[in-house]
Amino acid sequence: MPSIIVFIILTLDQLTKFLASKNLELNNPLPIIKGVFNLTLVYNRGAAFGIFKNQFYLFILSSIAAVILIYSVLKKNKRNNLYTFSLSLILGGALGNLIDRIFLGYVVDFLDFRIWPVFNLADSAITLGALLLGWQIFIRERKNAS
């Protein structure tokens, strides 16, 4: 199950980035919902929200370390539960952005809600996975405290 989730996230991420790169002009918003949502092609050479720009090797090494760590945890965990699902989302997203960094030197972002920095599907998977993981930890801590 984890490998299927990782494959789906990675495939959708790379496909949408390819389509955005081929059909959008760099830094030229295409309004989808006026004033709310645009498709805006951006090349992100930094981390989340564009911080730490041009730290290429730092991002590559930290991404590889994260991928190895998450993969090793998933390999040991044989259950298909929310924990596995969360880590699979994070792994799929991390791999998607790692591929961009290695082959392009930047991450392709294109989802633009105007009140938030431009992002992509890999970022969404990482964020959702992290939120689910945090929620599980919170619930477990509440159970242990009672």
Active site residues: 109, 123
How does strand 107-112 pair with strand 30-33?
A: unpaired
The 37-44 sheet, strands edge to edge: 30-33, 37-44, 107-112
Instruction: Give the separation between CA 143 and CA 126, rounded to whole angstroms.
Output: 26
Instruction: Give the separation between CA 46 and CA 48, rounded to whole angstroms.
Output: 7
